[in-house]
Amino acid sequence: MSSRRRTFLKVLAASPLLACSGTALESPSDGGGQGVAGSDFGGSGAGGKGGSAGSSATTPGDKPGGNISATSIGTLLVLPNSAIVLGRDAQGLYAMTIVCPHQGCYVAPQGSDLYCPCHGSLFDSNGNVLRGPARAPLTHFAVSVDAAGNIAIHTGSLVAAAVRTTA
């Protein structure tokens, strides 16, 4: 192998995009491939209103989150075919992006925390940074539960990290 080729391969190996692409999950419903923070979901800004029990209206960008009967306190579940993690704690349901705010890889539950395999960032179960290099927390989305207990995640409506939805 020529030294030029070796140099090229070293540059490729150091590329964050390549480093991320090997470990990111596919998300066909979000257009496939790896998400980049802020690009998977349109939002209305943090601090928006939370979801409320009984609401069944859906809008583009809403994602089904299963039935509340399938959740329990301590739930931290990445929803299939989406870049969303659904959580439940003593105060209620919440949902967050799994797109790491560092460079856009997908985080995954690791015990009661969320771990980014690309560069090792660690987030608590509410998306707060426990360890960098990520500096920003995970984005939260509004959640609603209809009368039958069906959960909807409203990815177009960003909410504060403390917002919870109860059935």
Q: Are 32 and 54 in contact (CB under 8 A)?
A: no
Residue span 71-110 as binding mask against ligand FES, x where in contact by CB under 6 A, dash where not: -----------------------------x-xxxx-----
Q: Which is nearer to ligand FES, 51 or 104 (CB)?
A: 104
CA distance 106 to 140: 15
Residue 131, beta-bridge partner list: 122
CA distance 89 to 78: 15
Among 83, 85, 96, 116, binds ligand FES (CB under 6 A): 116
Residue 118 binds ligand FES, judged by CB under 6 A: yes
Burial-class residue 107 by CB neighbours within 10 Å (0-12, 13-18, 19+). buried
Q: Which is nearer to ligand FES, 85 or 151 (CB)?
A: 85
Residue span 16-45 as binding mask against ligand FES, x where in contact by CB under 6 A, dash where not: ----x-------------------------
Residues that bind ligand FES (CB under 6 A): 20, 100, 102-105, 116, 118-121, 133-134
